Chain A
């Protein structure tokens, strides 16, 4: 299948593991035979700030940077960042998948601004005809694996055209080994208790 262009905007907070999920998707797209480009945030923002990664799949892509409002899919690992990403990056009629956890930003912790609620995100999605998949896996004890729970939903709901389970697994095998691979693979394929969708 020749894809013209499919843009994925990933967002989270420094420390959540955006880099890993982004690299898995990038490599999975490559294994699926798509031309693909990507770019990550490094440096200062990684310290508890906003971390963004962009992936662009398709024949007609040159820059790794997605124009504002032209992402087809937003993958977020935190609720505030999900909202920020759909406001700034996601196209009307696009898709949002996010891990429904909250890492309160500074102004919320200082009590000067209100925390974003799940309803606020849904409301914004409704207004822009965005399909929304809030993800939760209550039995997950290691927060560093929330990214893989999100990846499982991306696979389960076929949110990226042409990328199949096998491509994700091959990509994971490129990047991990031993216990880490086994643990992540298990979680990726174990859809028990995984909730996705409103």
Chain B
């Protein structure tokens, strides 16, 4: 069996099939990165998986999951001004959380170098939006390298680190979902491990490090100078590719994953293939190169995912240099939306040049309806048991606010709990607002335990401080479940060692929360009673609804060879086909047959038994061992 951790530390050059998120870790190793920080979020958590596959004593850099993206950025920055090449990675919307710190980075002299690895998510595969983080780069004069595949991820990280070390400026490596998760055979270079002098090199004389009043203006000037230097690098780097198809009329400027889609689509071109300029650095752009490309063509299409950042830059160049070229940018709102898959690129290009591509032929018509399959809470999930119980404590008119995590899925039928969602930690503040001028509808807000530490605390402090009489239900499962079970401050473990868990209850008590209730979510009647009590309290109240993540628990159990699978069964004698188990409690392990009979899916039931109490006819038999054949 191949060991990822070993592979990542191989000294001689080698080839391996890896995903983009793994390739970037080998690049960190080769580049001599010393500090890496992160907060989990799709599409980036597998970067951490790769890092953690290297046993702690052999890890050539320090790694931590910080408590949120802002803190992660600060830790990486602090390390970098001590002279260590550092990297922080997180998902697209993580940059919003990190922003207050991030926007200052380009102003300061980052002597060690710092790369910000962003996992943007065009198409919002697993995010609340598909924000284009290149806007942040423009706002802060921060260069952006944008690879298209795992091989480029590896090379671009090293180039980004080099620029950052050279100019002492932050550099963004912008990955997108299907670059992070794409897999291919990547050739890695030799790793020459060099001796490293870890002496702390922070020196105020390298500053100013205090961006205040009069100093901010020279600092900004330096940031702009750094950007100019970055443009020279962008122009000279081997990361831009000019593909000459001998077309004097048409050219396409593109970058990242859309480039790969373009190469696929052009295989079916019915007219001469356009020339292509694929940019490796998308901000600042290589001005001279773009100028040459514009001059060499009569029409240039800008093929760009999400917003029109390249388009604006390129049109500026054409205008300033007075180049007689027709530039085709975004043509309608569709062009601004979604991931630029081969199909999307086909449609986008056809709009610009209808003669070049035939209409897209889909799979051919079959109009067979297939029932939707929304994501679901897992069998045995404590959140399900909680929703089932909480629903019984609330009136239909009460308002429930969701937060980010597995428990967000409570918004779906059959629970329909959590009627608004914004971003991590937002539920308490939103709920507080909903409680104003409102004496008739109770307000209940949900929050996960990782989110509690991430961005939850300010909203809670505010609710206590400003006396908002809402109820928070803390969905405590001991882990950051949705993103793959990363430990958090109350887990008792960090990425490097065991730690004393920070007890959520004591934190709440310390903040002055008067009404705190704790219930295991499998005890549904008790949970219902506690929530009823909490919503009738006249001050801010918290119900800690606790149960360990059963997906994590079940996986750990199955690793044990002596593990005995157990499952519940429906007693056909007792079943009155009330269907509460399948339609109200809604565990995916229940099967509803056409004749109204309910069965248990042997592939799914984990024998947790949380369903037993939901059957008015007591027709669900307690979990029994299943025989292994």
Contact surface of A with B, Cβ cutoff 8 Å:
13-15, 23, 26-27, 30, 35-50, 60-69, 80-81, 83-84, 86-92, 101-111, 113-116, 120, 123-124, 127-128, 139-144, 146, 173-177, 179, 181
Contact = CB atoms under 8 A, between A and B. Distances in A.
B204 interface: no
A87 B368 contact: yes
Given A68-B363, A108-B371, 17 more contacts: A15-B378, A30-B17, A37-B184, A39-B181, A40-B181, A42-B126, A44-B375, A62-B264, A64-B182, A67-B341, A80-B370, A103-B601, A103-B603, A104-B588, A106-B586, A109-B582, A176-B1
A21 B578 CA distance: 39
A47 B366 contact: no
B324 interface: no
Given A39-B182, A47-B409, A111 B579 contact: yes
15 contacts: A36-B17, A37-B183, A40-B19, A43-B42, A47-B375, A47-B409, A65-B342, A80-B371, A83-B370, A102-B591, A102-B601, A105-B373, A109-B582, A110-B583, A123-B368
A90 B363 CA distance: 6
Contacts of A49: 373-376
B363 A106 contact: no
B575 to A, nearest CB: 15
B294 interface: no
B12 interface: no
Contacts of B259: 62
A106 B370 contact: no
B402 to A, nearest CB: 14
Contacts of B588: 48, 103-104, 106, 109
Contact of B260 (A62, A107, A120, A176): A62
B282 to A, nearest CB: 18
A44 B182 contact: no
Interface string B583-599: 10010101110100000
A91 B366 CA distance: 12
Interface residues of B, number: 71
B316 interface: no
- Tell me the dominant secondary structure on chain B's binding face: loop
B403 to A, nearest CB: 15
B2 A43 contact: no
Contact of A139 (B1, B2, B369, B629): B629
Interface of B: 1-2, 17, 19, 42-43, 45-46, 125-126, 149, 178, 181-185, 257, 259-261, 263-264, 267, 341-343, 346, 360-364, 366, 368-378, 406, 409, 412-414, 482-483, 558, 561, 579, 582-583, 586, 588, 590-592, 594, 601-604, 626-629
Contact of A48 (B366, B376, B561): B376
Nearest to B125: A43
Contacts of B374: 49, 105-106
Nearest to B604: A103
A23 B27 CA distance: 22
A176 B3 CA distance: 10
B602 A63 contact: no
A38 B343 CA distance: 17
A41 B342 CA distance: 17
Nearest to B15: A30
B481 to A, nearest CB: 9
Given A68-B343, A87-B363, A143-B603, A38 B373 contact: no
A67 B629 CA distance: 42
Contact of B362 (A68, A108, A111): A68
Contacts of B185: 30, 35-36
A84 to B, nearest CB: 4
